[in-house]
Amino acid sequence: MPALHERRPLGLTGIEVSPVALGCWPISGMTSLGVNDADSLATLHESLALGINFLDTAYCYGADGESERLIARALRGRRDEAVIATKGGIAWGEDRKMIRDARPETLRRHCEESLRRLETDHVELLYLHGPDNVTPLADSAGELKRLMNEGKTRSVGVSNFSLAQLIEFHAHCPITAFQPNYNMIQRQIEADSLPWCRENHVAVAVYWPLMKGLLAGKLARDHVFDAKDGRAKYSQFQGEEWVRNQELIDRLRPIAEECGRTLAQMAVNWTIHQPGITSALCGAKRPEQIRENAGALGWRLTADQLARIDAALEERGAAATMRAVT
């Protein structure tokens, strides 16, 4: 596949990123099966070769920063080829339970440790991974602004925020990028935060464009999840939601075939061409996976195809909130 070097502005920074980003959670080995360093490094190198320059990671991607450490290894001697985004404010406790901590001292510690792991003196984008609902947003924003002023990050972003939280944070520190979940059937941001981001020149880099692989269409109706596969706990992979999603896949598949693309490529292409979307984070742990993701670049769905997709989505109806079911 030829390199596709389409670029889009990252807010008002002057930095340009690929419309498809490499989501670097899978290479951490935390929840993905069959992860190894050789494949992960090959995936990172293949991303750059394909023109995907936007690498998205986080302090908590790995029990000991495995994702960031692998990125550092892949970028030795070629750091200037990549735009690195990392996140702080979430870590793992000794019991492997998630700890949300957006206090200024924690954000600074996470940032400085991430820079050491990444073997760099700065990142292009540093996100608050999510509010902890205890620390005032003004305190978190103030510390991230200080880190930006010190040159440890070129810009600041936020993830998993409501519209009200975006507005409050932005009043204390300029937001360059927002990272919410978004895909064909989870489109809540279109009603509130996405218009605000467009009005304020904030880039939107979305995660779950394939809804954790569901929209790739590779899971049969009778699929049995491995006990270690975390997707089984989510409502979209159970009961009536699972049935409705499979019916949607059946309606979308002929459109993808008409395009000469895989379902995953069509779903990502649809996502990156929605108004206000800057980039879609596509996770991968092997080179062939990022090659498929790159196939979403360099083409457009026709008006007729978009209309048929809209009809299929309307028939499917609004998706339930993506929540874990115990």
The DSSP line for 99-159 is EE---HHHHHHHHHHHHHHHTSS-BSEEEE----SSS-HHHHHHHHHHHHHTTSBS-EEEE
In a domain, 224, yes or no: no
Cα separation, 227 vs 200, whole angstroms: 43
Question: What does the DSSP 8-state code read for residue 19?
Answer: S
Q: Which residues contact 196 (CB under 8 A, 6 or more apart)?
A: 163, 166, 167, 202
Cα separation, 30 vs 293, whole angstroms: 21
The amino acid at 186: Q
295, containing H or E segment: none
Query: Could you report the per-residue pLDDT of 204-243, keeping only the tens digit for each?
Result: 999 999 998 899 999 888 888 887 777 878 888 888 989 9
Q: How many residues does the structure list for the chain? A: 326
Look at residue 267 and give its three-state secondary structure: helix
| Per-residue pLDDT, 3 | 43
Query: Could you report the per-residue pLDDT of 61-103, keeping only the tens digit for each?
Result: 999 999 999 999 999 999 999 999 999 999 999 888 999 999 9
Q: Domain limits at 58? A: 8-216+262-301
| Per-residue pLDDT, 321 | 66
In a domain, 50, yes or no: yes
| Per-residue pLDDT, 18 | 98
According to DSSP, the residues that pair with 20 across neighbouring strands are: 280
In a domain, 323, yes or no: no
pLDDT at 39 over 80: yes
In a domain, 187, yes or no: yes
Q: Quick one: pLDDT band at residue 292, thresholds 50, 70, 90?
A: very high
Cα separation, 155 vs 47, whole angstroms: 23
Q: What is the CATH number of the domain that holds 33?
A: 3.20.20.100
Q: Quick one: pLDDT band at residue 325, thresholds 50, 70, 90?
A: very low
Q: What share of the chain is helix, strand, coil (3-state, %, to 5)?
A: 45, 15, 40
| Per-residue pLDDT, 4 | 56
In a domain, 250, yes or no: no
In a domain, 180, yes or no: yes
In a domain, 252, yes or no: no
In a domain, 268, yes or no: yes
Query: Which residue among the candidates 61, 127, 182, 207 is catalytic per the annotation?
Result: 61
For this structure, is 61 an active site residue? yes
Q: Percentage of residues in the chain with pLDDT exceeding 70?
A: 97
Overall domain count for the chain: 1
Cα separation, 256 vs 306, whole angstroms: 11
The verdict on pTM exceeding 0.75 is: yes
pLDDT at 324 over 60: no
Q: Quick one: pLDDT band at residue 1, thresholds 50, 70, 90?
A: very low
Cα separation, 287 vs 126, whole angstroms: 26
Q: Quick one: pLDDT band at residue 126, thresholds 50, 70, 90?
A: very high
The structure tokens listed for 111 are 């940032």
Query: What mean pLDDT is reported for the chain?
Result: 94
